[in-house]
Amino acid sequence: MAKLLVAYASMTGNTEEIAELIVEGIKQGGHEVDLKSVTDCNASDVLDYDGFLIGVYTWGDGELPDEFLDFYEELDEIDLSGKRAAVFGSGDTSYEQYCGAVDLAAAKLLERGAEVSPEMLKIEYSPMEQEKDTCRDFGKRFAAAGLQVS
């Protein structure tokens, strides 16, 4: 059984809702998972888990939100080699950079050596009813894939 962390930044609750649905999916798969706001944990906390998922909403024209910046900068201080990770978030398609913060977070994790899932979950605003199962399945798939990593 994998022990996973889901850490997220959310201002309006959209990314938090996505994170909660992902946690439901992980638990449905029989895995342990901790859910934390990035303001309540440090980037180094990810080292205590078999894998982790990072959720971030996109601010403005594709930027990282302010409350995510400390966590993001702390990533520069840790080696994530061999750690499995995935990234998800919310955004607004009316902007040129739809969910650009998700892409920035994934690039940072890759730069630090993490094995980042090529599948990223991007949701416009909060998940609509039909997207809720997509969020749960994202968590289930990530947890199941983590069992194959030594």
- pLDDT given for residue 1 in this prediction: 77
* pLDDT tens profile 19-61: 999 999 999 999 999 999 999 999 999 999 999 999 999 998 8
- Region 95-101: mean pLDDT is 93
pLDDT averaged over every residue in the chain: 95
- Prediction pTM value: 0.95
SS (H, E, C) the chain: CCEEEEEECCCCCHHHHHHHHHHHHHHHCCCEEEEEEHHHCCHHHHHHCCEEEEECCCECCCECCHHHHHHHHHHHHCCCCCCEEEEEEEECCCCCCCCHHHHHHHHHHHHCCCEECCCCEEEECCCCHHHHHHHHHHHHHHHHHHCCCC
Share of the chain above pLDDT 70, in %: 97
Share of the chain above pLDDT 90, in %: 93
Domain range annotation of the chain: 3-146
User: What is the architecture of the domain spanning 3-146?
Assistant: 3-Layer(aba) Sandwich (3.40)
* pLDDT tens profile 85-97: 999 999 999 988 9
- Region 101-115: mean pLDDT is 98
